[in-house]
C-alpha cells in the first residue's frame, strides 16, 4: 500500500530560542504521530517538509506554519496494547481491520516450530528466549541477529482481522505477543 500524507496547521505560542531548538530536534526523522482528530490511534510518520523557523518568526507575526507528514497507510491502536501471554496454544483474535504484524517473545529451548495461522517459523538451537519482529522480519536476542537460526515456511506471520490459531512444537514453553493492532 502507498503511504499517505497528513498536513497539520501549527502555531508557536511561545517561540523562545530553546523551544525552537527543541521543536527542530523533534521534527527530524520519524516517530509516532497522534492527531487531535484520532487520539486513540497513531501513525508511523516521517516529517516530509523541513520548516525554516527563522523565516516563520521574521515573516509571520502569528507564527503559523503547516507540517507535512508522510505516514504508513495504517492507524495503530494507541496506547499500544500490552503483550498477550500464551502458556498453551490457542486462538488470537484481531480487533483491527488490517492484518497485524506482531512482535513475539518466544521462551524455550532446543529446536522448535512456531505456527501462526498459515505461517511457520522453525527456530533452531534456542536458549532461553528469542524476539521475532514480524514487521521488521527479523529474529534477535538483545542486540544479536539470530536470522541464521530461523527458517520461515510461508510468509512472515500476520494476524488477520478474523484472527488465527497459534500453535507450537518442541521446547517452547510460552509466548508473549505484542499484537500491534491496526486499521486501514
* pLDDT (average), residues 112-121: 97
Q: How many domains does the chain have?
A: 2
Q: What pLDDT score does 161 carry? A: 97
pLDDT tens for residues 67-93?
A: 899 999 999 999 999 999 999 999 999
Q: Are 173 and 113 in the same domain?
A: yes
Which of 43, 77, 111 terminates a domain? The answer is 77
Q: Are 116 and 47 in the same domain?
A: no
Q: Are 18 and 43 in the same domain?
A: yes
Q: Are 94 and 176 in the same domain?
A: yes
Q: Are 178 and 125 in the same domain?
A: yes
pLDDT tens for residues 123-138?
A: 999 999 999 999 999 9
Cα of 110 vs its chain's centroid, Å: 29
Confidence of residue 10 (pLDDT cuts 50, 70, 90): confident
Q: What pLDDT score does 53 carry? A: 65
The model carries a pTM of: 0.86
pLDDT tens for residues 12-47?
A: 777 666 677 777 777 778 899 999 999 999 999 998
Q: Are 127 and 145 in the same domain?
A: yes
Residue 8's domain comprises 4-77
Q: Are 70 and 160 in the same domain?
A: no
Which of 61, 77, 93 terminates a domain? The answer is 77
Confidence of residue 103 (pLDDT cuts 50, 70, 90): very high
Backbone angles phi, psi at 36, to 5 degrees: -60, -25
* pLDDT (average), residues 152-169: 97
Q: Are 46 and 62 in the same domain?
A: yes
Q: Are 174 and 103 in the same domain?
A: yes
DSSP per residue, 118-144:
TEEEEEEEE-SEEEEETTTTEEEETTE
Q: What distance in Å separates the CA atoms of residue 180 and residue 184, rounded to the nearest whole number? A: 13
Amino acid at each position: 500500500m502507498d503511504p499517505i500524507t497528513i498536513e497539520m496547521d501549527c502555531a508557536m505560542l511561545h517561540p523562545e530560542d530553546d523551544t525552537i531548538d527543541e521543536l527542530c530536534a523533534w521534527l527530524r526523522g520519524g516517530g509516532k504521530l497522534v492527531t487531535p482528530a484520532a487520539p486513540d490511534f497513531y501513525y508511523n510518520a516521517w516529517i516530509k517538509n523541513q520548516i525554516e523557523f527563522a523565516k516563520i518568526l521574521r515573516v509571520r507575526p502569528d507564527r503559523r506554519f503547516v507540517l507535512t507528514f508522510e505516514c504508513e497507510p495504517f492507524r495503530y491502536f494507541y496506547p499500544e496494547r500490552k503483550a498477550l501471554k500464551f502458556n498453551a496454544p490457542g486462538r488470537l483474535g484481531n480487533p483491527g481491520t488490517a492484518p497485524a504484524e506482531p512482535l513475539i517473545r518466544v521462551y524455550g529451548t532446543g529446536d522448535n516450530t512456531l505456527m501462526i495461522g498459515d505461517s511457520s517459523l522453525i527456530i533452531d538451537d534456542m536458549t532461553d528466549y528469542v524476539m521475532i519482529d514480524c514487521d521488521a522480519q527479523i529474529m534477535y536476542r538483545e542486540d544479536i541477529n539470530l536470522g541464521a537460526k530461523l527458517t520461515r515456511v510461508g510468509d512472515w506471520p500476520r494476524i488477520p482481522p478474523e484472527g488465527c490459531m497459534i500453535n507450537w512444537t518442541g521446547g517452547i514453553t510460552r509466548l508473549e505477543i505484542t499484537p500491534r493492532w491496526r486499521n486501514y
